[in-house]
C-alpha cells in the first residue's frame, strides 16, 4: 500500500498539538499543596504590619487605656502587629497606647526574640505584689534617645489574660519586673518621665520641645 504523506503529516501535527495541550495543563495546574502553602505565606505576610509608634507629648500616652472585653481576631491581630513593631524598633516592651490604641494591652520580650518563653502578651494586667527595690537606666520607645535612672521594685507579680481571655500570672525579677511595671504604667497613662526628679523631667521636656521645633522629633 502506498504511503499517503498528507495523512502522515496530519496525524503527526495532531499528536504534537495533543502533547502541547498536556504540557500546558501540567503547568497551569500546580499541586494543591503548593498552592495552599503559597497562599498561606502571602496571608501571613499581609497580616504582619509595622505600626507607627507615637511620641510624647501625644495625648493618648497620658490617658488610661480601656479594659479589653472582646477576645477576637482583631485583638490577636493587634497583638501580632505590636510584637512585630516592638522587634522592629527594637525594644523589649510595647504598650497599646504607644501605637495609638487606648486599650489595656502590652507585649514584652526581655530576651529580644531569643527565648520564645519570654514572648508574652498581657491583657488587662493587674499588679498583685511587689517587693524590694533597685535603680537602673530606663528608656522608652515613645521617648527616643532619652534615658533616666528609675527606681522600681526588684520583684513584681502580675496577673493578666492572654489573647484568648485565659488568666495567667508572671512572677518577674529585675528586668522582667521592670518591663512589666513600665508597660503597666503606660496603660494607666503614667510615663517614665514622671518617675524621675522634677529637674531631670524639665530638662527632658525642654530637649523635646527643641527637637520638635527643629523637626527632629
Is residue 6 in some structural domain? no
Radius of gyration of the chain (CA): 28
Lowest mean pLDDT among 30-44, 79-93, 192-206: 30-44
The percentage of the chain sitting over the pLDDT mark of 70, rounded to a whole number, equals 78
Cα 207 from chain centroid (whole Å): 29
Is residue 199 in some structural domain? yes
Is residue 10 in some structural domain? no
Is residue 81 in some structural domain? yes
Query: Where does 111-162 show beta strands of DSSP type E?
Result: 120-131, 134-138, 148-152, 155-161
What's the CA gap between 47 and 83, in Å, rounded?
12
Looking at residue 103, its pLDDT comes to 98
Lowest mean pLDDT among 40-44, 68-72, 130-134: 40-44
Q: How confident is the model over 158-167, as a mean pLDDT? A: 98
pLDDT band at 2 (very low <50, low <70, confident <90, very high): very low
Alpha helices in the chain (DSSP H): 5-28, 32-47, 73-88, 175-187, 198-213
Strands 167-173 and 134-138: unpaired
Average pLDDT, the chain: 85
Buried (b) or exposed (e) across 177-190, using 16+ Cβ within 10 A?
Answer: bbbbbbbbbbbebb
User: 131 catalytic, yes or no?
Assistant: no
Residue 137: strand pairing partners: 149
Answer whether 123's CB lies under 8 Å from 184's CB.
Answer: no
| Residue 190 three-state SS | coil
Q: Please tell me whether the peptide bond between 57 and the residue prior to it is cis, using omega within 30 degrees of 0.
A: yes
CATH of the domain at 195: 3.90.45.10
Is residue 151 in some structural domain? yes
Query: What domain range is 118 assigned to?
Result: 48-213
Catalytic residue (one of 43, 183, 202, 216): 183
Looking at residue 100, its pLDDT comes to 97
Is residue 21 in some structural domain? no
Q: How confident is the model over 145-160, as a mean pLDDT? A: 96
Is residue 17 in some structural domain? no
Name residues whose C-beta falls within 8 Å of residue 177's C-beta, 6 or more positions apart in sequence: 130, 152, 153, 154, 155, 156
Q: Could you tell me the three cell numbers for 198?
A: 522634677
Looking at residue 49, its pLDDT comes to 87
Is residue 196 in some structural domain? yes
Query: Is a pLDDT exceeding 80 seen at residue 86?
Result: yes
Number of domains composing the chain? 1
Per-residue pLDDT tens digits for 8-58: 344 444 454 444 444 444 443 445 444 444 443 344 445 668 999 999 999
Amino acid at each position: 500500500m502506498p504511503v499517503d504523506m498528507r495523512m502522515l503529516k496530519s496525524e503527526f501535527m495532531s499528536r504534537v498539538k495533543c502533547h502541547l495541550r498536556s504540557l500546558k495543563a501540567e503547568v497551569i495546574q500546580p499541586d494543591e499543596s503548593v498552592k495552599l502553602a503559597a497562599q498561606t505565606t502571602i496571608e501571613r505576610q499581609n497580616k504582619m504590619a509595622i505600626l507607627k509608634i507615637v511620641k510624647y507629648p501625644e495625648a493618648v500616652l497620658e490617658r488610661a487605656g480601656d479594659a479589653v472585653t472582646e477576645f477576637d481576631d482583631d485583638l490577636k491581630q493587634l497583638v501580632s502587629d505590636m510584637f512585630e513593631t516592638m522587634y522592629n524598633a527594637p525594644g523589649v516592651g510595647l504598650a497599646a497606647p504607644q501605637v495609638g490604641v487606648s486599650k489595656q494591652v502590652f507585649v514584652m520580650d526581655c530576651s529580644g526574640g531569643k527565648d520564645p518563653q519570654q514572648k508574652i502578651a498581657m491583657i488587662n494586667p493587674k499588679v498583685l505584689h511587689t517587693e524590694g527595690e533597685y535603680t537602673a537606666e530606663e528608656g522608652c520607645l515613645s521617648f527616643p534617645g532619652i534615658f533616666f535612672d528609675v527606681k522600681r521594685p526588684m520583684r513584681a507579680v502580675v496577673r493578666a489574660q492572654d489573647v484568648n481571655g485565659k488568666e495567667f500570672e508572671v512572677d518577674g525579677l529585675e528586668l522582667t519586673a521592670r518591663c512589666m511595671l513600665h508597660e503597666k504604667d503606660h496603660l494607666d497613662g503614667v510615663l517614665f518621665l514622671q518617675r524621675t526628679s522634677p529637674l531631670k523631667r524639665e530638662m527632658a521636656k525642654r530637649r523635646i520641645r527643641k527637637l520638635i521645633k527643629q523637626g527632629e522629633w
